[in-house]
Every structure is written in structure tokens, then in C-alpha cells.
């Protein structure tokens, strides 16, 4: 059974990047040192070749991840090897930041790609989480990272059926926390909003679902898949006796077109290499800041501060101003860590080069 790669999101532009003597495939899941990929001739379990292993040393972002397009090379011993990760059009990268450290921040400045080549980032936030309502700060953080990925964020407020009244007010709060972003209420349980979410996947678009554990991500993915999953050969991959073995995938091609990537819930997602992401999430505050009397206004106690004025007249929630400051601090901190890491890598590179120069006979007296 052959599989149409264009339904998986393959394009002529990507075809131009494919090295000679390789075949393209899309990563459905990664394991340590190996990946499940979907190629035109079905699903394969492939190990990383030397080139991939080498390029990812000290740079985990270069490792293959779900959603990646990769080049497979056929080896003489009769199997494919993952030879190269093709250039990504988008990548959702989180920073390695943990909470339990001095000042609330720690990390090595390194990132981890959660999904690549995604057109849409579904930010799943439960309307009700145990006893709490939607966490606006978490939405702001995820939307900033979603903007930064190059994909389009869409906020899905999940488990909407848990609300009898007040859902509209909650949605209004969420919309204020993510200006310019589509916000929808979804109930996978009742099947509400699922078709609407599927609408973002028209053509062969890829979406990733991100959100905290228990947000209902897998239930939503199942509901979307309930509209039909594309059969690929490997779903019925024979184990030699014709038994059906379903291979677990995180990248799921839907029968109605498009693909969805499920991710495990992550307790804390740190910012990584943020350029404009935070500014876009806080576009309303950025707009206010442009109207402050002083161009370098710190919005603390300056006269003629439009941000403080908006805070005082109740238009700008105090929470949102705090959240803006917090994410700005984190982005700046992460940038300094990344710079420090890059500097160190550069130094190491020079050390190696100098060593080699000393070793080279040409450089000996």
C-alpha cells in the first residue's frame, strides 16, 4: 500500500531540500535514538544515522521530533536510516526551565522541540481545573511560545460542559489575555466545538495540541480522530502472522484532511529564545506603552504613564501587567543563558581548533 505524502503535508518546496538518494518521511513519534516515521511505502522504525547524532551533540534542538520531515537512506543491510532532518518551517520550542531553583528560574539555556512543521498551535486550557478556572497566565505563556513557533495560536477552552453559566464571561477573559487570537469553547464529551477545531486542519495542515496534564488533549484528539483516521499500512502492520498491531503515534493523519499532534501534558513550559512572542501576546499593553509621555517609561511611577492610567481606571487588570513583567523577565533571562551557552560553545570550538593547529606539523617550528 502506498501513501500520498502530500496528504501528510509534503510540498514541492520541501522536495527541493531532499538530498540525493534519500526518500522523505514524516516523524510520527520519537524514541531514544530512533523514530517512527511515515514514508510513501508505509511506517518504519528507523535509527538515527551518524550525521543526525553528530549535529545534535550539545544541541538537542537539532534532534528529530514529531512533525519533522526527514530524509531516509537505504542501507546495504536492508533497512532505512534517518539521515537528515529537513529544514523546519515552524518549530514549537520550550526552554529547559524548572521552578524549584533560586529565583524561580534555572536551566541550561537549551531548548526542546515539542513539535515541528505545525501550522496551528491549539492551546488547550481547561475551563475548570480541579476547583480553579482557566489559568490566564498559562495561556499567555503558551500563546507567546506559539507565536514564536511561527505557527498560528488558537486557544481551545476545554471541558466547556462543566460550565452551566458564566462561560461567556470566562471566554471574554481568555480573549483579553490573547488579543488577536481565536478563542473557542470545546466539549469533547458532548462533541461541541470539535468540528470547528477540525476546520483549522483543512488541506493538509498540521496542528499540535499543547496544554497541562488533564486538559483533555487526548480526548480532543480522539474526538477529532473519531471523525476518521487515515488508514496507513502500518496500522495493520503484520507481525508475520497477520495479526493487527496498532502502532502508537503522536502524529495522526485525519481522514477529513489535516494532521493532529498529541503531546503529553507538561507541568511547566519555559520560554525559549523569545523574540516577538511576548510582545504579540501583550499587544494591548505595548500599544498603551507607546502613549506614555516618556519613550523609556518603566510604567512604575512615571508621570503621564498610559499603562498605569489604564490600570487605575480598571481597563488593564493588575494580573495582566504582572504577567507581562514576569514573561519579559523570563525571556530576557533565557536570552542571557542562551548567549552564555553559545559563547561557551564558541570557546570550545576555538579550543579544539587551536589544539588542532598546534598538532598540525605545518604550525610547528
Counting residues that bind Zn ion (by CB under 5 A) gives 5
For residue 210, CA distances in Å to 1, 120, 147, 258, 260 come to 32, 11, 13, 17, 11
Residue with nearest beta carbon to ligand GTP? 265
Q: Are 87 and 15 in contact (CB under 8 A)?
A: no
Closest by CA position to 148, among listed 193, 210, 218? 210
* Residue 264 known to bind ligand: no
Q: Is 297 annotated as a binding residue?
A: yes
User: Is 211 marked as a binding-site residue?
Assistant: yes
CA dist., res. 220 & res. 9, Å (int): 21
CA distance 331 to 95: 10
Q: Which three cell numbers stand for residue 29?
A: 513519534
CB of residue 294 to Zn ion, shortest distance in Å: 7
By CB under 6 A, tell whether 127 contacts ligand GTP: no
Run of H or E including 146: helix 136-149
Among 185, 215, 251, 261, which residue sits at the site for ligand GTP (rule: CB under 6 A)?
215
Q: Contacts with ligand GTP in 232-271 (CB under 6 A)?
A: 264-265
Does residue 218 bind ligand GTP (CB under 6 A)? yes
Residue 297 binding Zn ion, by CB under 5 A: yes
* Residue 219 among known ligand-binding residues: yes
* Residue 288: CB minimum distance to Zn ion, A: 7
Put the strands of the sheet holding 206-210 in their side by side order. 182-185, 152-158, 120-126, 206-210, 259-262, 251-253
Is residue 189 at the binding interface for ligand GTP, with CB under 6 A as the rule? yes
Instruction: Examine residue 56 and tell whether it contacts ligand GTP (CB under 6 A).
Output: no
Q: Which of residues 157-176 bind ligand GTP (CB under 6 A)?
A: 158-159, 161-162
Counting Cβ atoms within 10 Å, is residue 179 exposed (0-12), middle (13-18) or buried (19+)?
A: middle
Residue with cell 512572542: 277
Binding of residue 219 to ligand GTP (CB under 6 A): yes
| Residue among 145 and 274 whose Cβ is closer to ligand GTP | 145
Instruction: Catalog residues that contact ligand GTP under the rule CB under 6 A.
Output: 158-159, 161-162, 187-189, 211, 213-219, 264-265
Annotated binding site for GTP, which residues? 158-161, 211-219
Amino acid at each position: 500500500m502506498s501513501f500520498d505524502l502530500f496528504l501528510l503535508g509534503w510540498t514541492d518546496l520541501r522536495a527541493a531540500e531532499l538530498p540525493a538518494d534519500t526518500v522523505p518521511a514524516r516523524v510520527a513519534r520519537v524514541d531514544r535514538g530512533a523514530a517512527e516515521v511515515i514514508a510513501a511505502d508505509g511506517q518504519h522504525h528507523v535509527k538515527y544515522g551518524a550525521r543526525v547524532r553528530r549535529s545534535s551533540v550539545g544541541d538537542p534542538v537539532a534532534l528529530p521530533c514529531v512533525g519533522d520531515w526527514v530524509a531516509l537512506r537505504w542501507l546495504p543491510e536492508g533497512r532505512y536510516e534517518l539521515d537528515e532532518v529537513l529544514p523546519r518551517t515552524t518549530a514549537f520550542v520550550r526552554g529547559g526551565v524548572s521552578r524549584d531553583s533560586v529565583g524561580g528560574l534555572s536551566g541550561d539555556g537549551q531548548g526542546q522541540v515539542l513539535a515541528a512543521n505545525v501550522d496551528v498551535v491549539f492551546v488547550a486550557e481547561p475551563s475548570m481545573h480541579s476547583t480553579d478556572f482557566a489559568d490566564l497566565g498559562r495561556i499567555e505563556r503558551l500563546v507567546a511560545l506559539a507565536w514564536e513557533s511561527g505557527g498560528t495560536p488558537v486557544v481551545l477552552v476545554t471541558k466547556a460542559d462543566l460550565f452551566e453559566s458564566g462561560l461567556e464571561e470566562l471566554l471574554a477573559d481568555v480573549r483579553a489575555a490573547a488579543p488577536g487570537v481565536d478563542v473557542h469553547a470545546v466539549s469533547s464529551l458532548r462533541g461541541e466545538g470539535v468540528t470547528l477545531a477540525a476546520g483549522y486542519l483543512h488541506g493538509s495542515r498540521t496542528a499540535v495540541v499543547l496544554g497541562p496534564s488533564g486538559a483533555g488533549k487526548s480526548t480532543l484528539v480522539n474526538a477529532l480522530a473519531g471523525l476518521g483516521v487515515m488508514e496507513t499500512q502500518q496500522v495493520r502492520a503484520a507481525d508475520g502472522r497477520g495479526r493487527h498491531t496498532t502502532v502508537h503515534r503522536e502524529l495522526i493523519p485525519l481522514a477529513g484532511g489535516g494532521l493532529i499532534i498529541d503531546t503529553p501534558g507538561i507541568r511547566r513550559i519555559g520560554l525559549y529564545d523569545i523574540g516577538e512572542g511576548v510582545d504579540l501576546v501583550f499587544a494591548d499593553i505595548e500599544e498603551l506603552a507607546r502613549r506614555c509621555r516618556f519613550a523609556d517609561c518603566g510604567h512604575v511611577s512615571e508621570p503621564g504613564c498610559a499603562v498605569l492610567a489604564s490600570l487605575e481606571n480598571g481597563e488593564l487588570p493588575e494580573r495582566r501587567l504582572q504577567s507581562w513583567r514576569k514573561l519579559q523577565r523570563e525571556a530576557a533571562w533565557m536570552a542571557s543563558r542562551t548567549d552564555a551557552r553559545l559563547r561557551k560553545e564558541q570557546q570550545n570550538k576555538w579550543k579544539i581548533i587551536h589544539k588542532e593547529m598546534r598538532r598540525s606539523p605545518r604550525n610547528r617550528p
